Structure 1
């Protein structure tokens, strides 16, 4: 079983291949990205657990890539570079990198740093995060994130979404949803739930998660 996905952004093929092989041996899914024209968008779409990023790259330098990814995602980033000045390390950290490793590196130390950062990031996510069809929903801060786009949801929106995803593939009845939202389905106008679900659909469409909440006429909703 793979322990997580790690993206390798390194333009020197021997180093790139070595890193991917090394990560695979330790049970990670290692994927290298080499289309530097679309590197930022590709990183976001991959929804990796961690990124290993070189600084000296063609087209865009690593500093710019680090800053742009960090502005759109919380994915952990370790800068792995032959540039070893204190200024390089400081810049990397200021732009949002989680760690800075210089080449040549000890592979065991690199792995220890990767696993330490992954443990920290997974701990902050907690069990209150749930994922469905690329969408990550977090109860802790009432947010939904899809392909790097993140929005805050209202209390009702997050409850409906979380309930539907928790029962992914099964129909959740309107009565169940009304009971969950208002602790009763007796005194609530049936149209109130419809309004809430339609508003949630529009919020999801605004971040690109479209046509995923389906109405089952006379029964309820399903994702």
Structure 2
């Protein structure tokens, strides 16, 4: 049974999500101590976290960054905040996806299932080697002689797609389809921010320039 940790203070939303997800055999865990959200998530070791932005203590952006210091658990942000202004902030903080309130439980469930399926598929993959670099899809760790980089699940998934199509351009549409089931509810800028975040992670390993932008088309990993 997959465990979903929901960081939300609206009792009506908690009740609705819990009822819907329980029908699909998910275990839903909620926050007990709003001053120790990251600690509770680490202790619970969930398969996915749903994060609101406006919370009783620190906001969701802060807690996402705290969670990312110790965990690469998939994160979906749910918020009533303006999607254009905040989705970039959420993704930059370490979120994998975003949904805006009021939302359909069907859409939320689809996003959760897609993210869990994607990570399950990736985690079954073998280690990928190219040049002097090694990427482990199970841990999302990239290693070479310069050091290691810990990627988030989304960063790792993007790198794996680009590696599987190395030296060939992957269109933005294909990336959205493979990583976010078509990206129907995402702004294209979300993809751009994720690529930028991945490049930042690759930079200390001397690999920032290996991801080329094909303007108006997509991205290509050069080896």
Aligned-partner SS, 1:66: helix
Q: Would you say 1:18 and 2:9 are equivalent positions?
A: no
1:71: how far off? 2.3
User: Runs in 1 of length 4+ with deviation above 3 angstroms?
Assistant: 140-144
Aligned to 1:78: 76
Please give the per-residue CA displacement for 1:59-97, whole angstroms capped at 9, x wherever unaligned. Answer: 111000011112211100000111123121110011110
Q: Would you say 1:8 and 2:21 are equivalent positions?
A: no
Please give the per-residue CA displacement for 1:5-59, whole angstroms capped at 9, x wherever unaligned. Answer: 0001101111111111111111101111131111111101111000011000011
1:127: how far off? 6.9
Aligned-partner SS, 2:76: strand
Aligned to 2:86: 88
Structure 2, unaligned runs of 5 or more: 127-134, 144-223
1:122: how far off? 1.3
How many positions carry a matched residue from both structures?
A: 136
Counterparts of 1:127 and 1:5, CA distance in 2: 22
Structure 1, unaligned runs of 5 or more: 129-139, 145-149, 153-223
Contact 2:123 2:137 in 1 (8 A): no
Alignment of 1:147-162 (within 5 A): none
Q: Would you say 1:111 and 2:109 are equivalent positions?
A: yes
Aligned-partner SS, 1:118: helix
Counterparts of 2:113 and 2:7, CA distance in 1: 18
Q: Would you say 1:43 and 2:74 are equivalent positions?
A: no
**What is the TM-score normalised by the length of structure 2?**
0.55
Q: Which has the larger radius of gyration?
A: 1
Contact 2:5 2:50 in 1 (8 A): yes
1:141: how far off? 4.1
Aligned to 1:123: 121
Which fold has the larger relative contact order, with Cα–Cα distance below 8 Å and residues 6 or more apart in sequence? 2
Counterparts of 2:23 and 2:137, CA distance in 1: 37
Aligned-partner SS, 1:78: strand
Counterparts of 2:137 and 2:88, CA distance in 1: 33
Aligned to 1:177: none
Aligned-partner SS, 2:22: helix
Aligned-partner SS, 1:7: strand
Aligned to 1:102: 100
Contact 2:34 2:57 in 1 (8 A): yes
Aligned-partner SS, 1:21: helix
Contact 2:122 2:138 in 1 (8 A): no
Aligned-partner SS, 2:5: strand
